[in-house]
């Protein structure tokens, strides 16, 4: 059965790769190569050809996401809006992020560094991580290795997410994501660019450490992205008692975005899981509340603005960080003054 499943997955992956490769060649020959030639950039033609593959994957991913999730949002919305004002900027974030350039840039840029590091470790008799061979005959199966990679990356994703709520300066970056009060399948990618860079670097580093092959890394990123689109979609969906505990649902994740719970609560929020709610259940941050709650950040109700446009959202985050650092400096100075007086 496992062998049949592996064969089926490999057949699908091969077919998808052939389709993308055909589109890659078509676009390169008819569009990209003439432009490179015209502007005297043929010295980067090979890199441009390779990058085009992942751009096409990103475009197809956004197309599939829209075709599947937009009708569901129209047919079974979790909440009804009079208009979709404010959602458009999230589409901008999506196109920037989903083209995959940042993730791939870090992954391939860091590959030589990790190759040299692994060579140095082997030279000094230090074993490197080799998940494929943890259980010969089992973990060497592509589908098993892929599942392990997914779980390991999701574990680190949980802690990255949870810590971004715990520390004030980091939170001000992540707050860009939580400031959207009209959740839709687009808003998963509504993140501060600095946060995106940090996250891309971390995931690329972990993927390289555990030995994720480049082809599987791209699939892992695409799969994770799509599941997170589903989680953020404005759809009234519940996976049942068991399903809710196997994979993060729109209802489970909406609780994370709820005012008063997503960032506040007893542990600076709840429901931090990226793909799986297991980590929330294990580390005491799960909440399976089924009520439909308003989303956003509490101080938005008090008039605090997080920006309506892309650049405003980016800039205001730095402004909030500067105010935090300024307040911290003033508090330290006041503490020193009190000590000297005493």
**pLDDT tens string 275-307:** 999 999 999 999 998 888 889 998 888 888 999
Summary mean pLDDT of the chain = 82
Query: Average of pLDDT values for 34-43?
Result: 83
Q: Tell me: pLDDT of 223 over 60.
A: yes
Residue 148 CA to residue 127 CA, distance in Å, equals 19
Q: Does residue 266 or residue 12 have the better pLDDT?
A: 12
pLDDT tens track for 200-212: 878 878 887 787 7
Q: Tell me: pLDDT of 266 over 50.
A: no
Residue 12 CA to residue 15 CA, distance in Å, equals 5
Binning pLDDT at 50, 70 and 90, where does residue 84 land? confident
Q: Does residue 217 or residue 335 have the better pLDDT?
A: 217
Q: Does residue 258 lie within any of the structural domains?
A: yes
Sign (positive/negative) of CA torsion 68, 66, 229, 144? positive
* Residues 6+ away with beta carbon under 8 Å from 140: 132, 133
Residue 236 near residue 243, CB atoms below 8 Å: no
Residue 181 near residue 294, CB atoms below 8 Å: yes
Q: Does residue 75 or residue 168 have the better pLDDT?
A: 75
Let me know the angle formed at the C-alpha of 223 by 221 and 226, rounded to the nearest 5 degrees: 105
* Residues 6+ away with beta carbon under 8 Å from 129: 209, 210, 211
pTM over 0.85: no
User: What pLDDT does 172 receive?
Assistant: 93
Number of domains in the chain: 1
Q: Does residue 330 lie within any of the structural domains?
A: yes
User: What is the span of the domain harbouring residue 327?
Assistant: 2-336
Q: Specify the residue for token string 């993060």.
A: 248
Q: Tell me: pLDDT of 71 over 90.
A: yes
Query: Average of pLDDT values for 183-203?
Result: 89
Q: Does residue 7 lie within any of the structural domains?
A: yes
Binning pLDDT at 50, 70 and 90, where does residue 109 land? low
Q: Does residue 342 lie within any of the structural domains?
A: no
User: What pLDDT does 309 receive?
Assistant: 92
Q: Does residue 43 lie within any of the structural domains?
A: yes
Q: Tell me: pLDDT of 241 over 80.
A: yes
Q: Does residue 341 lie within any of the structural domains?
A: no
% of the chain residues with pLDDT over 70: 80
Tokens of 179: 């400031």
């Amino acid at each position: 059965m496992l062998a049949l499943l592996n064969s089926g997955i490999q057949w699908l992956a091969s077919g998808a790769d052939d389709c993308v490769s055909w589109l890659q060649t078509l676009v390169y020959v008819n569009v990209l190569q003439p432009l490179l030639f015209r502007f005297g950039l043929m010295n980067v033609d090979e890199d441009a050809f390779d990058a085009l593959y992942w751009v096409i994957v990103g475009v197809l991913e956004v197309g599939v996401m829209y075709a599947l999730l937009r009708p569901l949002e129209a047919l079974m919305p979790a909440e009804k809006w009079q208009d979709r004002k404010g959602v458009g900027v999230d589409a901008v974030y999506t196109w920037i992020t989903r083209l995959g350039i940042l993730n791939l840039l870090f992954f391939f840029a860091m590959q030589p560094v990790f190759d040299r590091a692994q060579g140095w470790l082997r030279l000094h008799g230090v074993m490197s991580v080799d998940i494929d061979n943890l259980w010969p005959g089992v973990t060497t199966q592509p589908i098993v290795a892929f599942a392990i990679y997914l779980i390991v990356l999701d574990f680190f994703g949980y802690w990255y997410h949870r810590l971004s709520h715990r520390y004030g300066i980091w939170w001000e970056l992540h707050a860009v994501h939580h400031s959207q009060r009209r959740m839709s399948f687009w808003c998963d990618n509504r993140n501060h660019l600095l946060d995106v860079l940090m996250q891309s670097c971390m995931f690329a580093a972990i993927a390289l450490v555990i030995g994720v092959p480049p082809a599987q890394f791209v699939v892992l990123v695409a799969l994770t992205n799509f599941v997170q689109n589903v989680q953020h979609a404005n759809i009234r969906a519940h996976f049942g008692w068991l399903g809710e505990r196997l994979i993060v649902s729109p209802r489970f994740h909406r609780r994370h975005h709820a005012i008063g719970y997503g960032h506040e609560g007893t542990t600076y929020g709840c429901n931090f899981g990226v793909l799986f709610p297991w980590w929330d259940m294990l580390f005491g941050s799960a909440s399976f509340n089924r009520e439909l709650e308003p989303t956003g950040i509490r101080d938005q109700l008090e008039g605090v603005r997080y920006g309506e446009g892309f650049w405003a959202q980016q800039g205001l985050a730095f402004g909030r960080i500067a105010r935090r650092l300024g307040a911290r400096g003033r508090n330290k100075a006041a503490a020193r003054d009190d000590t000297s007086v005493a």
